[in-house]
């Protein structure tokens, strides 16, 4: 995470644990490997070390929107789920529905950072719920600020991959209403 500057662009320190992130077809995120938007169009399964009876928040964010050289929309929120019991993401509160990688054509590689934070208890989130058909409310997000707001521990686990434009991206933009 230091090599690709996830630290300090997104977080202040690398999480102690690596989250296991697996997409359909057996493709996995592996600390900065390159995947395609087509490979990551569906939400992955994610595993991380859990403590009994604990709740977690999961975030996937892109600090390189619209490009790494011009990150004026840093960070673009791709997925945000809170109140996750253990690793059971489907039982958490979806704040932002999953949207896969959608880097603009010619913008180069984007970093897609997946982070898990431990909550101190159940949270009544005040953030608007964003469906996977909308880009509204996703740009200029800050996972650091959200973690401070709710006093999260961590990030306790994380991983990331990189991706650049492929022919799936226009379909994603259409889904988002662009």
Q: Is 24 helix (H, G, I), strand (E, B) or coil?
A: helix
Residue 169: inside a domain:
yes
Whole-structure pTM over 0.85, yes or no? yes
CATH of the domain at 152: 3.90.280.10
Is 103 part of a structural domain of the chain?
yes
Residue 123 lies in a domain: yes
DSSP code, position 28: B
113-168 pLDDT, tens digit each: 999 999 999 999 999 999 999 999 999 999 999 999 999 999 999 999 999 999 99
The answer to whether 6 touches 160, Cβ cutoff 8 Å, is: yes
What's the domain count of the chain?
Answer: 1
Residue 178: what pLDDT?
74
Length of the chain counted residue by residue:
178
> For residue range 54-97, what is the model confidence (pLDDT) as tens digits?
999 999 999 999 999 999 999 999 999 999 999 999 999 999 99
pLDDT averaged over every residue in the chain: 96
Angstrom CA distances, 23 to 4, 14, 43, 71, 107, stand at 22, 22, 7, 26, 23
Domain contains 125: yes
Residue 120 lies in a domain: yes
Between CA 30 and CA 21 the distance in angstroms is 8
- Asked whether residue 91 is domain-assigned, the answer is yes
Q: What is the pLDDT of residue 111?
A: 98
pLDDT at 177 over 90: no
Domain limits at 88? Answer: 6-175
Q: Is residue 1 part of a domain?
A: no
From 68, 75, 78, select the one nearest 5 (Cα to Cα).
68
């Amino acid at each position: 995470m230091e090599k690709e500057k996830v630290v300090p662009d997104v977080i202040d320190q690398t999480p102690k644990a690596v989250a296991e992130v697996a997409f359909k077809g057996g493709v996995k995120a592996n600390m900065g490997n390159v995947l395609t938007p087509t490979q990551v169009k569906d939400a992955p399964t994610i595993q991380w070390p859990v403590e009994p009876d604990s709740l977690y928040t999961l975030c996937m964010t892109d600090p390189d929107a619209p490009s790494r050289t011009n990150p004026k929309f840093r960070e673009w929120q791709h997925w945000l789920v809170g109140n996750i019991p253990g690793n059971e993401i489907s039982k958490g509160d979806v704040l932002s529905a999953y949207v896969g990688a959608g880097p603009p054509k010619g913008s180069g590689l984007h970093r897609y950072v997946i982070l898990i934070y431990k909550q101190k208890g159940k949270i009544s989130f005040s953030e608007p719920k964003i469906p996977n058909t909308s880009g509204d409310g996703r740009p200029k997000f800050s996972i650091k600020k959200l973690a401070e707001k709710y006093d999260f521990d961590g990030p306790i686990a994380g991983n990331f991959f990189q991706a650049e434009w492929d022919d799936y991206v226009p379909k994603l933009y259409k889904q988002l209403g662009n």
